[in-house]
Amino acid sequence: MRDEVGRTTLQLAKQNHVTIEKTLSSVNDRTITLLDNHFFSDSKQYGFWTNIETLGQIREADAILERWSSDGTEYTLYMMNTAEKSTPFDLSHKTKGFKYFNKEIAEQLEWAERALQEGGAGTLHLLPSESGMPTVSFMRSILNPEEYEESIGFLVVSKLEVLLTRDIISVQLPKNAGIYLFNDQNEQLMKAGPEDSRMADIAKGAAGRGDGYYFASEDGEKWLYAYSHRSAFNTRLIYKIPLDSITGNQTVFQWTIMILSAVYLAFVLIFVLYLLRIIVTPLIRLVSITKIYEPGKQLDMDQKLLRSDEFGILYGAFLKMTTRLDHSIEENYGMKIKQKENELATLHSQITPHLLYNTLDSIYWYALDSGNTDVGEMVKDLSRLLRIGLSKGKSIITIAEEIEHVKAYSRLQMKRYPGKFEVFWQIDESLAMYMTPKVILQPLVENAIFHSVSSMDGEGAIWIGVRRVDKEIQMTVEDNGFLPVDMERLDTIVNGDTNDKGYGIRNVHQRIQLHFGEAYRLRYERREGGGIVAIINLPMQEKII
């Protein structure tokens, strides 16, 4: 709560400081406008201010500065008497308006030295007034329009307290609180509240901290200090507030909260005891029944727990759950028996391909012994086709196995159609152990044979390729067939838009996307020189050992 009070007070101080800075910025802008109009924008005006000598000229200069003093402030312009002008009377006694001074006097004035250090920028200081009381003054040196490194005078705006008082007293603070405004020289420019000699030291200590707040004890009383720093004019605004004036009423409020909290705690304890009796006891009973439950064992349930409230519903749900669990165990036991039966049937089905391989192997050796090597080789290729085609139920095989399968198929067809066509192989052997869906090249080769090259009388050619393209595997089957092909109809068959023909290539396309997604597919393109090219793109998926 103290920190919240500190943050709120700091925010108030910062907002008040912004208002003060806006007032100072307004004064700064007016002085810039004055100097721009009378020194920098008009050479005649510059000549007027640097050559004032007669009584009329002095009165005209005073009248100009008087018009700028309409807001309660007083404008004084000190001009360096470099031309040693002689005026009708001594101007040193004047407290406002136009005055001459020389370099020796400027070196003796502390505020003049500070203004010179700032160059053409403005600065805030306390200057003595005609009443002897210090006045808040804004001053800046006047640069020579023809030589900016030379200062030819000073413009001083005094009695700024007329403007700043309005900004400071606009904030209503508690009794004995104070607001203090300091410049970068730790001069107390303004205050609202009691005088405090220690504020200069506090302002000096806060000089390097930026914005913040802290609590301190002085003379047995606790105080809140909030300080804000603004860099535009290097000012610090400090709030000093007695902590009791803010938190005094909170003590009664805190005691009220404590008493109400004690009553609330007693009510909560009574309610917890009530919950223990109506909730925790039946819950413990339900937990104990859960621990002793065994599937298939009859439970001794307390009928008192079958109440109409939520725990009664939970108790009944537990009974239903145990009943369903018993039924599930019985069903699971029956499913295990069926699973054993299916495993036996699977083992029996595996005997049939094994018997077929052995039979084909016997025919192969019989053909070799009989001297019929062509029949033997065809039987051997047929055995390869069946072995790789079945693949022990696997749907993914290596590229090496897929190439072996399509080579066996090609040899069989070349013996069936002797001299009709030739097959050429372009295989990247480094891709042999990557994976592919099985039997995806054979349907494409089959289509190329039966629809393109089987009737070409020895001029037919089929090119089968497997290569690496970017980060994918590309399989191609090309033929040099001369019959015209409807490519749009071929695309509709591949995409499944028509179902009357093309089961083989549609099956290839669907199996590729089933395994690897829609980014991979089968497509057809026309081959340069005649014929078509079937293209399959696959991901580079290595074999898992």
List the one residue out of 227, 269, 224, 230 whose CA is nearest residue 248. 224
Per-residue pLDDT reduced to its tens digit, 323-343: 788 777 777 766 776 776 665
Reduced DSSP (H G I as helix, E B as strand, rest coil) percent helix, strand, coil of the chain, to 5: 50, 20, 25
Confidence band of 524 (pLDDT split at 50, 70, 90): very high
In this prediction, residue 348 has a pLDDT band, given cuts at 50, 70 and 90, of very low
Token pair recorded at residue 40: 């920098």
**CB-facing half-sphere around the CA of 503: CA atoms within 13 A:** 1
% of the chain exceeding 70 in pLDDT: 84
pLDDT at 267 over 90: yes
Asked whether residue 312 carries a pLDDT value surpassing 60, the answer given is yes
State the pLDDT at residue 341: 60
Map out the domains of the chain with their CATH numbers.
1-242 (no CATH), 415-539 (3.30.565.10)
SS3 77: strand
Contact 522, 534 (CB under 8 A): yes
pLDDT digits (tens, 9 = 90+) for 390-426: 656 678 889 999 998 888 888 888 888 888 889 999 9
Distances (CA, A) of 441 to 115, 422, 527: 94, 16, 18
Burial class (CB in 10 A: 0-12, 13-18, 19+), 176: middle
% residues pLDDT > 90 (the chain): 20
Q: How far apart are CA 383 and CA 354, in angstroms?
A: 11
Residues near 281 by beta carbon (within 8 Å), at least 6 away in sequence: none
Tell me what the pLDDT averaged over the chain comes to.
82
- State pLDDT tens for residues 526-538: 988 888 999 999 9
Q: Phi and psi of 129, rounded to 5°?
A: -100, 180
Q: Could you give the CA distance from residue 22 to residue 28 in angstroms, rounded to a whole number? A: 10
What residues contact residue 202 under an 8 Å CB cut-off, 6+ apart?
A: 225, 227, 238, 240
On whether the CB atoms of residues 235 and 20 are closer than 8 A, the answer is yes
The SS3 assignment for 236 reads strand
HEC readout, 175-228: CCCEEEEECCCCCEEEEECCCCCCHHHHHHHCCCCCCEEEEEEECCEEEEEEEE
Q: How many Cβ atoms from other residues are within 10 Å of residue 229's Cβ?
A: 20
**How confident is the model over 86-115, as pLDDT tens digits?**
878 877 777 788 988 876 666 667 788 888
Which amino acid belongs to residue 261? Answer: S
For 227, the 3-state DSSP assignment is strand
Q: Mean pLDDT across the stretch 442-458?
A: 85
pLDDT at res. 244:
78
Which is more confidently placed, 536 or 377? 536
Helix (H, G, I), strand (E, B) or coil at 457: coil
**What are the tens digits of pLDDT across the range 232-252?**
888 899 999 888 777 665 667
pTM, rounded to two decimals: 0.46
The answer to which of 85-89, 159-163, 222-226 has the lowest mean pLDDT is 85-89
Token duo for residue 200: 């200069």
pLDDT score at 462: 93
Q: What is the pLDDT of residue 463?
A: 95
**Which run of H or of E encompasses 26?**
helix 2-35
d(CA 79, CA 74): 16
